[in-house]
């Protein structure tokens, strides 16, 4: 049982091309945490926990515009990275070239 768990963890975490590196799927998933954190910080800002002397509505509009652009950009990059990583991992596994599973 633990052998299957170990193989599953290696399959997900390790790069199929170079088992000494972390897989693109994991890297892109971690990149996806950035926009989630930004959204969480935006919620805190809306609760009024950040006090500034700048007009609150102007600050909120600028922050929201920038945050939305970064959020969607990073989300798109993260989703693309996860997709490419999964396709590459499955492809190498099917071909029998997934070095992370054979070490």
Residues 35-54 pLDDT 10s: 777 677 666 666 665 544 45
What pLDDT, on a 0 to 100 scale, did the predictor assign at position 3? 80
Q: Looking at the domain assignment, is residue 91 inside a domain? A: yes
Task: Quick: pLDDT tens for 67-84.
Answer: 788 888 888 888 898 888
User: Per the structure, how many domains does the chain have?
Assistant: 1
For residue range 4-22, what is the model confidence (pLDDT) as tens digits? 788 777 877 787 777 788 8
Q: Could you tell me the pTM of the whole model?
A: 0.52
CA dist 18 to 5, 10, 87, 99, Å?
A: 20, 12, 16, 7
Query: CA–CA separation, 58 vs 62, rounded Å?
Result: 6
Is 103 within the bounds of a domain? Answer: no
Range of the domain at 22: 2-95
- The answer to whether residue 101 is domain-embedded is no
SS3 22: strand
């Amino acid at each position: 049982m633990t052998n299957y768990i170990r193989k599953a963890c290696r399959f997900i975490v390790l790069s199929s091309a170079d088992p000494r590196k972390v897989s693109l799927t994991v890297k892109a998933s971690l990149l996806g945490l950035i926009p989630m954190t930004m959204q969480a910080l935006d919620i805190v800002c809306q609760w009024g926990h950040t006090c500034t002397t700048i007009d609150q509505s102007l600050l909120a509009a600028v922050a929201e515009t920038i945050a939305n652009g970064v959020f969607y950009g990073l989300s798109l990059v993260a989703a693309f990275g996860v997709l490419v990583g999964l396709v590459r991992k499955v492809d190498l596994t099917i071909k029998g070239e997934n070095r992370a599973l054979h070490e």
